């Protein structure tokens, strides 16, 4: 085949690379979805608090088996399956895909069983798992169109942790009741930013896996 044919063939394969010297080809849809997740999660939790004093447990974001926690668990399972499929399909950086898959699987198992309720030192376990997972996904996204999406997702997860760690202290120092609107707003914001972070991260991982598979396709038959 001629060089021009090979070049034309390669140009038809979807790529996640950035335009050299240009901006990433990333639409607003991932960010809009994350914003919607944050807004809806916060609105549902606060409406449940204001209208029914959190009596609907599934809508209470602070409840271990709330819908938002179940959605996050589903996201972890999706991330694990996607990463394992990518690693087994012979794409580049298979070791990083395996790492991401194992870490997502760990989080999915915890989400389904709530193991952390029986581990007093859970933050000591969770923190390095989350950090390593974010590093792995960021490494896979580096230099691709998904890089800004992944960075935004990681930033939201970090913000969620900051709110979780420092939020109660701030509420207490300001003299606000844990049963009041200020504390419940903290809960809604913490859970909303976490859910929004996974809404950015996991679909980006799926697109990365699909794009990696396309990039690693060999020449078509007859070349």
Q: Of 2 and 128, which is predicted with more confidence?
A: 128
Residue 22 CB: number of other CB atoms within 10 A?
A: 7
How is residue 105 written in tokens?
A: 């699987």
Query: Tell me, what's the pLDDT at 4?
Result: 46
Interval 92-116: pLDDT, tens: 889 999 999 999 999 999 999 988 8
- Name every residue whose Cβ is closer than 8 Å to that of residue 100 and which is 6 or more positions away in sequence: 79, 83, 133, 136, 137, 140, 205
Give the model's pLDDT for residue 207: 95
Q: Model confidence over 132-180: pLDDT tens digits?
A: 999 999 999 999 999 999 999 999 999 999 998 888 888 878 877 777 8
Burial of residue 7, with CB atoms counted within 10 A of its CB: 0-12 exposed, 13-18 middle, 19 or more buried: exposed
Contact 185, 46 (CB under 8 A): yes
pLDDT digit string (tens) for 33-61? 999 999 999 999 999 999 988 889 999 98
More confident residue, 21 or 122: 122
Residue 214 has a pLDDT of 54
Name the band, by pLDDT with cuts 50, 70 and 90, for residue 118: confident
């Amino acid at each position: 085949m001629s060089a021009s044919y090979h070049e034309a063939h390669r140009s038809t394969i979807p790529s996640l690379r950035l335009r050299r010297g240009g901006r990433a080809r990333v639409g607003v849809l991932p960010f809009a979805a994350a914003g919607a997740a944050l807004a809806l999660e916060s609105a549902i939790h606060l409406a449940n608090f204001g209208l029914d004093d959190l009596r609907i447990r599934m809508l209470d974001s602070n409840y271990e088996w709330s819908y938002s926690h179940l959605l996050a668990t589903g996201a972890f399972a999706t991330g694990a399956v996607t990463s394992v499929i990518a690693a087994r399909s012979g794409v580049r950086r298979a070791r990083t895909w395996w790492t991401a898959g194992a870490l997502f699987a760990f989080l999915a198992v915890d989400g389904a069983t709530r193991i952390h309720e029986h581990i007093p030192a859970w933050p000591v376990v969770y923190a390095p798992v989350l950090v390593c997972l974010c590093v792995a996904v960021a490494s896979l996204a580096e230099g691709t169109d998904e890089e800004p999406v992944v960075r935004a997702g990681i930033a939201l997860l970090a913000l969620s942790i900051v709110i979780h760690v420092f939020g109660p202290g701030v509420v207490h120092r300001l003299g606000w009741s844990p049963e009041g609107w200020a504390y419940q707003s903290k809960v809604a914001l913490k859970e909303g930013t976490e859910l929004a972070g996974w809404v950015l991260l996991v679909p980006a991982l799926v697109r990365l896996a699909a794009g990696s598979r396309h990039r690693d396709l060999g020449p078509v038959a007859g070349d």
